[in-house]
Amino acid sequence: MTPAEIRQTILDILADIAPDEDLSTLDPDRPFRDQLDMDSMDFLDIVMELRKRYRVHIPEEDYPALASMTSTVEYLTPRMKDIPCK
Amino acid sequence: MIAPRAEAHRVVITGVGLTAPNGNTLAEFRHSLLSGQSGVTRFETRYFGATVAGVCHFDELRYQSRKDLRRGTRAGSIAIYCAHEALRDAGLDLNRLDRSTIGIYVGVTEHGNVETENELYQLQQYGYDLQFWSHHHNPRTVANNPAGEISLNLGITGPHYTLGAACAAGNAGIIQGVQMLRLGECDIALCGGVSESIHTFGIFASFRSQGALAHHEDPTKASRPFDAQRNGIVVAEGGCLFVLERYADAAARGARIYGEIVGYAMNSDAFDPVLPHADRQAQCIEMALHRAGLSPDDVDIVSTHATGTQSGDVQECAALRRVFGSSRRTRFNNTKSFIGHAMGAAGALELAGNLPAFQDRVCHPTINLDYPDPECSLPGLVAQQPQELPKVDVVLNNSFGMLGINSVVIVRRV
């Protein structure tokens, strides 16, 4: 997956777990938490969905890397580069 | 023990919020009960396949976001809908209330089966690897979930919990509300019962294995208590929560009062896990009447529990004949014949459906009583068509459940 494809993957997951939010105005550099009504259970949903959909396992100590879109894509790019886009 | 009669201990119903398979407000529900409209439809559920059930169609998004629905439970959604509707019906504005003085007491027959079945079904698709087990499982399945979802949604900080009382749970929730008001533990009680049971295949399969699941070519004919051709229970979902207040508080704010809860009782059969016991049911009814200071002839309408099983209907009728045999005034009806058995919500919904009778003096009927079972003979049984009565001052509501739990609530017109 390319960084652009990973970004779209995260947007798809966010659309599922935060269905009331307008994601079109998401600022990639600001924390999700500052822009979206999200709590710790929602972040665990992101982790779970990546595990379910792509078998990507994110250790707990790396959770801070999922703070914003930019940091998430950066973190996931080396881990998902060999995964084909669905 | 006789319930205290001091003014401070008088408790009244000032609001009703409900969703039933045939109505999402008390007015809609009452209209369906008086016009013979069933809420039972064809229904299909995982593994079990085609069956019939009472299915609710309330607007889930009226009081919850789509994210709330995804994270919570069906029972929670039903409870939240009923709580909002009850408070609105009572004319109470949460913004003008001290939310720490509101207690939430929700009866449930069971909770967690739906969510556990769903999680196991999902897990199966991942080879039962537990790393795919959801972090939402615990908050969804804790036994207080439906009451807790109300608290979270409405920002109510008083006590909240559920009461597990099998199919007596709706009455048990109401009784808990009365008791907490009398103890001064709350000033407003949101109480009653909810059920999401149609979303678990287990309840259908278990009733079928027990020979107690209803079936009929016409779903609207499947729930037929007291009828010789009855063949079991129609499982339904639903909810009904009441706003209860001390009479003095309700009167002081000029609230509309549906009725006063003048008596209640609960007891146990200590007899059999699933079979009912007429002796203990009769005792429970008599105890509630005694506490209310009423005689059987004072009761205008008995809202029966009968579910459409062979033994259950016969046992309840035996209990009713024993207590009300000499009463020429008392009429009997059955709401499950319209909506099926709404489990934890049944007692509350069935009481609610009868409350408008204080005003319109009409006893809604038991429908689908085409071939009355002689063993279920009740002289005052209102069958097929509503019956207008000279007056309706007292309604007595029966709700019984598995493991031999019996409950009775008596409401009097104010």
User: Per-residue pLDDT tens for A38-69?
Assistant: 999 999 999 999 999 999 999 999 999 999 99
| Inter-chain touch A41–B65, beta carbons under 8 Å | no
Q: Do residue B248 and residue B267 come from a single domain?
A: no
pLDDT confidence of residue A86:
74
Residue B204 lies in a domain: yes
Q: How far is A68 from chain B (nearest CA, A)?
A: 20
Decide if B39 contacts B257 (C-beta within 8 A).
Answer: no
| pLDDT of B5 strictly over 70 | no
DSSP 8-state code for residue B254 = T
pLDDT for position B105: 98
Using a CB-CB distance cutoff of 8 angstroms, which residues of chain A are in contact with residue B132? 48, 51-52
**Residue B289: strand, helix, or coil:** helix
Question: For chain A, how many structural domains are there in total?
Answer: 1
What residues form DSSP beta bridges with B192? B106, B241
B65 reaches A (C-beta below 8 A) = yes
pLDDT at B4 over 90: no
In this structure, the answer to whether residues B228 and B318 fall within a common structural domain is no
Rounded distance, CA B137 to CA B364, Å? 41
Q: Minimal Cα distance from A21: which residue of B?
A: B67
Q: How many CB pairs under 8 A join A and B?
A: 26
Whether the predicted pLDDT of B1 surpasses 60: no
* Total residues found in chain B within this entry: 414
Q: Which residues, 6 or more positions from B277, have their beta carbon under 8 angstroms from its beta carbon?
A: B269, B271, B315, B404
Which chain B residues are within 8 Å of A59, Cβ to Cβ?
Answer: none
Which domain covers residue A52, as residue numbers?
3-80
Same domain, B81 and B216: yes
Whether residues B172 and B225 fall in one domain: yes
Q: Per the structure, how many domains does chain B have?
A: 2
Q: In this structure, is residue B4 part of a structural domain?
A: no
Q: Are A19 and B71 within 8 A, CB to CB? A: no
Chain B contact set for A17 (CB, 8 A): 67, 70
Same domain, B235 and B297: no
Residues of A with CB below 8 A from B135's CB?
41, 44-45, 48
At residue B300, the pLDDT reads 98
Question: What distance lies between CA B283 and its chain's CA centroid?
Answer: 21
Chain segment B311-322, per-residue pLDDT in tens? 999 999 999 999
For residues B134-145, give the mean pLDDT. 98
Compute the nearest-CA separation of B129 from chain A (Å): 11
Percentage of residues of chain B with pLDDT beyond 70: 99
Q: What does each C-alpha distance from B282 to B91, B262, B344 come to in angstroms?
A: 37, 18, 21
Does the beta-carbon distance from B132 to A19 stay under 8 Å?
no
Let me know if residue B7 belongs to a domain: no
**Position A29 in a domain:** yes
Q: In this predicted structure, what is the pLDDT of residue B407? A: 98
Substitution target in B70, B128, B149 with the highest count of A β-carbons within 10 Å is B70
Whether B268 and B114 have beta carbons less than 8 Å apart is answered as no
- Mean pLDDT rounded to a whole number for chain B: 97
Of the partner residues A20, A44, A51, the one whose CB lies closest to the CB of residue B66: A20
**What SS3 state is found at B305?**
coil
* Residue B131 burial by Cβ neighbours in a 10 Å radius (0-12, 13-18, 19+): exposed
A41/B136 touch (CB, cutoff 8 Å), yes or no:
yes
Chain A: nearest CA to B133, how far in angstroms?
A: 9
Among the candidates B221, B252, B283, a domain finishes at: B252
> Is the same domain home to B65 and B137?
yes
pLDDT one-digit tens code per residue, B54-97: 999 999 999 999 999 999 999 999 999 999 999 999 999 999 99
How confident is the model over B141-189, as pLDDT tens digits?
A: 999 999 999 999 999 999 999 999 999 999 999 999 999 999 999 999 9
Domain-embedded: residue A45: yes
Q: Which residue, B234, B252, B270, sits at the end of a domain? A: B252
Whether residues B140 and B247 fall in one domain: yes
Are residues B200 and B306 both part of a single domain?
no
Contact B30, B356 (CB under 8 A): yes
Give the per-residue pLDDT at B7: 81
pLDDT at residue A25 greater than cutoff 50: yes
Among candidates A19, A44, A52 on the partner chain, residue whose Cβ is nearest the Cβ of B66 = A19
Minimal CA separation from A52 to chain B, in Å: 7
**A62 lies in some domain:** yes
Alpha-carbon gap, residue B29 to B25, rounded angstroms: 6
- Cβ neighbours of A41 in B, within 8 Å: 71, 135-136, 139
In a domain, B210, yes or no: yes
Spell out which residues of chain A touch residue B134, defining contact as CB-CB under 8 Å.
48
- Tell me the β-bridge partners of B107: B163, B193
Q: Which residues contact B403 (CB under 8 A, 6 or more apart)?
A: B166, B268, B273
* In-domain check, residue A85: no
Residue B229 at interface with chain A, using a CB cutoff of 8 Å: no
- CATH number for the domain spanning A71: value is 1.10.1200.10
Q: Which of B252, B281, B311 is the last residue of a domain?
A: B252
B266 beta partners: B407
Q: What is the ipTM of this complex?
A: 0.94
CATH number at residue B347: 3.40.47.10
Q: Is residue A86 part of a domain?
A: no
pLDDT of residue B2: 45
pLDDT at A70 over 70: yes
pLDDT digits (tens, 9 = 90+) for B203-241: 999 999 999 999 999 999 999 999 999 999 999 999 999
Q: Are residues B282 and B198 in the same domain?
A: no
Residue B197 falls within a domain, yes or no?
yes
| First-last CA distance in chain A | 9
Contact: B67, A19; criterion CB under 8 Å: yes
> What range does the domain containing B76 cover?
12-252
Same domain membership, residue B149 and residue B22: yes
pLDDT of residue B219: 98
- The answer to whether position B6 is within a domain reads no
Tokens representing B41 are: 């439809």
Answer yes or no: do B132 and A51 touch at CB < 8 A.
yes
- pLDDT digits over B342-399, tens only? 999 999 999 999 999 999 999 999 999 999 999 999 999 999 999 999 999 999 999 9
